[in-house]
């Protein structure tokens, strides 16, 4: 489902964020991505999402080589991906409901079906009672769950979560992990990054460990 072949990513200025990385993630896998701040975790996830392009090597997602894909086609690939990134990009001039509706509006989804999907996603993350609120009124943990609802409302095949538990205490973090587990159970391919490995240990899943842009044991 996701394949990196000798992928190097060098940012302008010369820094190599990823160095000749090769790995493969099968459809339906749940994989953790560990490593200190600056190790290259976000870069790896951005390459899968087509937000960044490799300097060399190939990134193949759902059979598509992103490096040779025309820029105009990237949005089509991204429709099959749900993103939960650190800078939430929550829109504070809209309600909780409207924030989750956004990805469906963009693809011109049927309104009734979209409304049903948004409510299902909000129900899933436990925010259905707060759909009319402005997101400012949500706690940090609730804002994170809003982001998760927005990332899954279009039922992506792949879910990428960059430090989704970064700012949350342990109890909230475990709740969030349970949510990811439930998406995993319906067949979604999931990559979750974190600098704190203690949360990952209990799940018995593959852990990819990055250090200075390379894998370590």
Burial label, 117 (beta-carbon count in 10 A; 0-12, 13-18, 19+): buried
Of the pair 136, 198, the CB lying nearest ligand ADP is at 198
43 binds ligand ADP, rule: CB under 6 A: yes
* Strand order through the sheet with 64-65: 16-25, 2-10, 56-61, 64-65
Task: Name the region of 191 (left: φ>0; alpha: ψ -120 to 50; beta: rest).
Answer: beta
198 binds ligand ADP, rule: CB under 6 A: no
Find, among 16, 22, 59, 35, the residue nearest to 158 by Cα. 59
β-pair partners for 8: 56
Could you say which residues in the range 168-187 bind ligand ADP, by CB under 6 A?
A: 183, 186
19 binds ligand ADP, rule: CB under 6 A: no
Interface with ligand ADP: number of residues (CB under 6 A) = 23
| Candidate list 120, 128, 168, 174; residue touching ligand ADP; CB under 6 A | 120
Of the pair 82, 135, the CB lying nearest ligand ADP is at 82
15 binds ligand ADP, rule: CB under 6 A: yes
Written as six digits, the tokens of 213 are 């842009």
β-pair partners for 192: 32, 161
The site map against ligand ADP for 22-41 (x = CB under 6 A) is -------------x-xxxxx
β-pair partners for 32: 192, 207
112 binds ligand ADP, rule: CB under 6 A: no
- Chain residues in the site for ligand ADP (CB under 6 A): 11, 13, 15, 17, 35, 37-43, 117, 120-121, 124, 152, 155-157, 183, 186, 188
């Amino acid at each position: 489902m996701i394949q990196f072949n000798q992928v190097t990513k060098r940012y302008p200025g010369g820094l190599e964020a990823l160095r000749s990385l090769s790995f493969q993630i099968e459809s339906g896998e749940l994989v953790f991505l560990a490593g200190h701040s600056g190790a290259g975790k976000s870069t790896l996830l951005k390459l899968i999402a087509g937000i960044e392009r490799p300097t060399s090597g190939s990134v193949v997602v759902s059979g598509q080589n992103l490096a040779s894909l025309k820029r105009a086609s990237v949005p089509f690939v991204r429709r099959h991906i749900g993103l939960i990134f650190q800078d939430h990009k929550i829109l504070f001039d809209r309600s909780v409901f409207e924030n989750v509706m956004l990805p469906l509006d963009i693809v011109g989804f049927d309104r009734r079906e979209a409304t049903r999907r948004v409510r299902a996603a909000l129900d899933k993350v436990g925010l259905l009672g707060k759909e009319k609120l402005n997101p400012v009124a949500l706690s940090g943990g609730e804002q994170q769950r809003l982001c998760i609802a927005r990332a899954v409302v279009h039922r992506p095949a792949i879910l990428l979560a960059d430090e989704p538990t970064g700012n949350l205490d342990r109890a909230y973090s475990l709740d969030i992990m349970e949510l990811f587990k439930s998406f995993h159970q319906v067949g979604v391919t999931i990559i979750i990054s974190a600098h704190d490995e203690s949360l990952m240990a209990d799940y018995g899943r593959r852990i990819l460990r990055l250090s200075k842009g390379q894998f370590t044991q």
